[in-house]
Amino acid sequence: MAELILALDLPDKDKALRLLDELDGALVWCKVGMEMFTHYGPPLLAELASRKLKIFLDLKFYDIPHTVAQAVLQASLLGVDLLTVHCQGGQRMLEDCVAAREKAPKKIMLFGVTVLTSFASGEMPGISIQPKDFATSLAALANDCGLDGVVCSPQEVAQIKHEHPHLACLCPGVRPTWAGLGDQRRVATPGQAVSWGADYLVVGRPILQAKDHRDAFLRICEEMSRPL
């Protein structure tokens, strides 16, 4: 069964914690990205862990192999459950990240970012192939390097799962029919994403901007339970 991850993409910690109170008993996973982590840092992760939530730290590390491997090791010490690195960092970077993860006292899942869901065809600088084809090739690299999964558009999931059945797929770009697209391009509904094989769905604004946060969250969960 696919799992829903709430993206805590908010500028205010108190507002985020009130949202978690509203979703108490329903929420299992939350994502902390660049905005929240840059402002509040590790203490925020400790607060989330104290609420028994699973933590997806989405910082998309991308640098020289040694630097990223050390960042992975340090992140693993913060109690997170899932961490992202960029597949475009290449084989040596990804393999060093996996090796660093194995040294961590707590087992964390390591996912490789393929192509951001904000990119449409022709928008990737210096890359002429279609986003779907590029994402599929990067997923193959992630699989070969021993990562647990990839971050990809729902539209790439079926092909990635066909080629690498044991590679988990985490999908942003999930938009219910009743929510706006925002800056996303390669999108799908919750039901579509699950039917294509997604293991994790990340949703932020359709929940964060709803008048009733809990109702929006539960509506998406219900849609996930009815794959198309």
Tokens representing residue 226 in the block: 């009815």
Selected catalytic residue, list 13, 15, 52, 60: 60
Tokens representing residue 105 in the block: 């006292």
Closest CA to 49 of 77, 84, 11: 77
Using alpha carbons only, give the angle 81, 20, 228 rounded to the nearest 5 degrees: 70
54 is catalytic: no
CB 154 within 8 A of CB 196: yes
Cα-Cα-Cα-Cα torsion 104, 107, 113, 118, nearest 10 degrees, comes to -120
Q: Point out the residues that are catalytic.
A: 60
